[in-house]
């Protein structure tokens, strides 16, 4: 019984890590990582700082995606609309 619980816990952990890694890769591939990092400020603010700044703002996702895609107040990004939505959601959830 204990062994089964352990296996389930490990599988769950891997699943969560898998999702985080996919978005990490996407951020890397989309060029975001050139200017952003999770915890530290580079050319742009850290993802965690961004998440804190927009915490509780209902329209944050929509506004940020629009700004990033159009290059308004932010260097224009090369990622697709769908990828940008994924990335913004990932950042805001930190």
Name the residues that contact ligand HEC, by CB under 6 A: 30-32, 34-36, 43-45, 50, 53, 64, 68, 73-75, 77, 79, 84, 87-88, 91
Per-residue 3-state assignment (H helix, E strand, C coil) for the chain: CHHHHHHHHHHHHHHHHHHHHHHHHHHHHCCHHHCECCCCECCCCCHHHHHHHHCCCCCHHHHHHHHHHHCCCCCCCCCCHHHHHHHHHHHHCC
Q: Which is nearer to ligand HEC, 12 or 40 (CB)?
A: 40
Least distance to ligand HEC, CB of residue 35, Å: 3
- Residue closer to ligand HEC by CB (options 7, 74) is 74
Output the smallest distance, CB 89 to ligand HEC, in A: 10
Task: Pick the closer one to ligand HEC by CB: 2 or 73.
Answer: 73
């Amino acid at each position: 019984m204990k062994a089964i619980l352990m296996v389930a816990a490990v599988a769950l952990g891997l699943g969560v890590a898998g999702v985080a890694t996919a978005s990490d890769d996407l951020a890397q591939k989309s060029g975001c990582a050139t200017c952003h990092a999770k915890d530290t400020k580079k050319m742009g603010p850290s993802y965690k700082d961004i998440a804190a700044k927009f915490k509780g703002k209902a329209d944050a996702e929509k506004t940020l995606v629009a700004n990033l895609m159009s290059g308004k107040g932010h260097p224009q990004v090369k990622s697709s609309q769908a990828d940008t939505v994924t990335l913004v959601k990932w950042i805001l959830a930190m």
